[in-house]
Copies of this chain bind each other. A is one copy, B any other.
Amino acid sequence: MTDFKDFVRPYGLVSKVDAFGYLDELRRNPQEPRKHGRVVLVTADTPLKASRGEGKTTTTIALIDALRARGVDAAAVLRQPSMGITAAGSKGGASGGGRSSLTHPELVDWGLCGEMAAIESAQNLLVSFAEKAVDEGRLDTVLVPRVSEVPSRSLRQISVDRGRGDLAERTVLTPTCELMQIVVLSRSMDEIGRRVSAMIAGTLGGRPVTFGEFIDLWRITGILGDAVKPAMTETLQGSPVYVHCGPFANVSLGIPSLVSVEMACARHDVVVVEAGYGADAGAQKWLDIAAREYGAQWPAAAIVVTRATTWRDDPRLQWRYPFHVNRLEGLGIPTFPLINLWEGEDGQVDDLRAIASDLGFRRPIIGNLFRDGGTSLEPQLDGFIQALEDEGHEDAQVGWGSEEAVAGQASHLGMGVMDQIRWIVASAYGVPADRVVEKAGFAQSLESARGLCRGVGADLDRLVVVAVKSPATMTDDDTAPEAERTVTLKKVEAHTGAGLLQVNLTTSLTTPMPKIV
């Protein structure tokens, strides 16, 4: 009999789960009892700035506490926060707050069980292998960036081999690297190995060369041995929470590892998944990347979190919140607005309900989740629970890696890359194709990436687009009137291992390595 406990080991104050092993066992024993939980996506309004969270993690925690108080077997899957950003002082961690907290937030905020550090070491070892390949004449350029979990402004642009080669290089934050994407998307260590082998290391005489041509793969997978295992912890109220990989939805995936969510679905009826930043970032990526292309489950419902001030205070940006809510509803996902009140905002509830009603939203869920936790949500969840019941469980088995695509949820790969980009810009940012602007050099960057792909036997048009942009903006200028909003395409980068095409969008700056504060 498949016993989940056999795949769990305590790791200090949390546990870690051999999710690969557990899911494998379930696949080999389809008759074993298991659940087929439904995914609920918690996403948010576009934040006013990157460091100003709307409270997605706080909401996720409060929501599962409230659902469990109502008798629903709910669990949460969170992304591991970037320790570097916490250490840099730019954010106060990402493990909830107040009554909506984890039992050991300090562990989650400060490096958990070393998962991110292991991914950092492995990606940097890939760079060292590439250097060795340069020494051996197998490469003459290196295309993989170094990574650092701790931000350091001056590492954005570096020269290595000072006084000898003086080779220009760059360093990006660990969570944004291709290896992190591979860990998020892979369902076995073998798949990780195949994907690492397919990563482009650099070029030789203009010809792209993959890592598979020269590395000792076992050294990379050796380092990742424990990092691929999701961590398991709980909320202050005792609700189960899994934490694994994937922060930074604006420049990477911003979703937890697929196996952590799939495993949670095998164990619970409702699995609340936190996707990063606004609905234009993490939610877009869950839907268009994870669900459409990598066999993850299409959500049975969504919660879009905002703060009263984010929603209303800038009249030029008020369009964004209803845009997100309506967009997800338009995709057939029952979508619930949730307003996370701050101290002193209790008097605004009636006003907020009135606005929501004018906008034709479902009845919003409103509460001070930091102060009151799940108890403030509990009596407001009738509609939400009903929606989950209406969605039913019959679709849930379809969700994970199934061949049967549901209309509207099917792969976009047939579209080709430019149409994928136009789809994202239109559906997730509200800008039509005729206002998608190609910056000088974009076409060249695309052609160059196409050539690299061709050189390693990959098809650029079969890569999945990852939008790279500022977390605080969807278009070149979100404050412009709707008819004037544009989206500029800047450059692309092929991640042939992860199967992704990074596309830099909008004119705002994305900082790959912030300053510390």
* Residues in chain B near residue A164, CB distance under 8 A: 157
Q: How far is the CA of A87 from the CA of B168 in the complex (A)?
A: 25
Q: Is the CB of A223 within 8 A of B167?
A: no
Q: Give residues 130-156 of A contacting B (CB, 8 Å).
A: 131-132, 135, 146, 148-156
Known contacts A87-B121, A516-B128; A9 and B9 CB within 8 A of each other: no
Q: Which of B110, B148, B155 contacts A222 (CB 8 A)?
A: B110
Known contacts A11-B10, A219-B87; A135 and B515 CB within 8 A of each other: yes
Q: Is the CB of A153 within 8 A of B131?
A: yes
**A117 lies within 8 A of chain B by Cβ:** yes
Q: Is the CB of B128 within 8 A of A118?
A: no
Range of interface residues on chain A? 35 or more
Min CB distance A245 to B, Å, is 15
* Residues in chain B near residue A7, CB distance under 8 A: none
Q: Is the CB of B223 within 8 A of A87?
A: yes
Known contacts A160-B155, A222-B110, A226-B12; A150 and B125 CB within 8 A of each other: yes
Min CB distance A177 to B, Å, is 14
Q: Which among A118, A148, A155, A166 has the greatest number of chain B C-beta atoms within 10 A? A: A155
Q: Is the CB of A165 within 8 A of B160?
A: no
Min CB distance A11 to B, Å, is 5
Q: Which of B111, B168, B515, B517 contacts A162 (CB 8 A)?
A: B168
Q: How far is the CA of A163 from the CA of B159 in the complex (A)?
A: 9
* Residues in chain B near residue A490, CB distance under 8 A: none
**A216 lies within 8 A of chain B by Cβ:** yes
Q: Is the CB of B117 within 8 A of A87?
A: no
Min CB distance A125 to B, Å, is 5
Q: Is the CB of A114 within 8 A of B125?
A: no
**A127 lies within 8 A of chain B by Cβ:** yes
**A83 lies within 8 A of chain B by Cβ:** yes
Q: How far is the CA of A387 from the CA of B266 in the complex (A)?
A: 61
**A443 lies within 8 A of chain B by Cβ:** no
Known contacts A114-B117, A158-B158; A89 and B222 CB within 8 A of each other: no
* Residues in chain B near residue A415, CB distance under 8 A: none
* Residues in chain B near residue A87, CB distance under 8 A: 121, 125, 219, 222-223
A268-306 near B? 1/0 per residue, CB < 8 Å: 000000000000000000000000000000000000000
* Residues in chain B near residue A216, CB distance under 8 A: 89
**A129 lies within 8 A of chain B by Cβ:** yes
* Residues in chain B near residue A515, CB distance under 8 A: 131-132, 135
* Residues in chain B near residue A517, CB distance under 8 A: 132
* Residues in chain B near residue A162, CB distance under 8 A: 157-159, 168
Q: Give residues 1-38 of A contacting B (CB, 8 Å).
A: 9-13, 16
Min CB distance A26 to B, Å, is 22
Min CB distance A172 to B, Å, is 14
**A182 lies within 8 A of chain B by Cβ:** no
Q: Is the CB of B128 within 8 A of A88?
A: yes
* Residues in chain B near residue A489, CB distance under 8 A: none
Q: Is the CB of A129 within 8 A of B516?
A: yes
* Residues in chain B near residue A132, CB distance under 8 A: 515-517
* Residues in chain B near residue A167, CB distance under 8 A: 154
Q: How far is the CA of A104 from the CA of B209 in the complex (A)?
A: 35
Q: Is the CB of B157 within 8 A of A163?
A: yes
Q: Is the CB of A160 within 8 A of B150?
A: no
Min CB distance A51 to B, Å, is 16
**A225 lies within 8 A of chain B by Cβ:** yes
Q: Is the CB of B111 within 8 A of A223?
A: yes
* Residues in chain B near residue A131, CB distance under 8 A: 152-154, 515-516
**A196 lies within 8 A of chain B by Cβ:** no
Q: How far is the CA of A73 from the CA of B160 in the complex (A)?
A: 51
Q: Is the CB of A160 within 8 A of B163?
A: no
User: Can you name 20 extra interface pairs (CB under 8 A) apart from A87-B223, A121-B149, A158-B159?
Assistant: A9-B12, A10-B11, A10-B12, A12-B16, A12-B226, A88-B125, A88-B128, A106-B225, A111-B117, A111-B121, A111-B226, A113-B113, A117-B121, A127-B152, A131-B153, A132-B517, A135-B515, A154-B161, A154-B167, A159-B166
Q: List 23 A-B contacts (CB under 8 A).
A: A9-B10, A11-B11, A12-B16, A87-B125, A87-B223, A89-B219, A106-B222, A110-B225, A111-B114, A111-B117, A111-B121, A111-B223, A114-B118, A125-B150, A125-B516, A127-B152, A128-B151, A128-B153, A132-B516, A132-B517, A157-B161, A159-B159, A162-B168
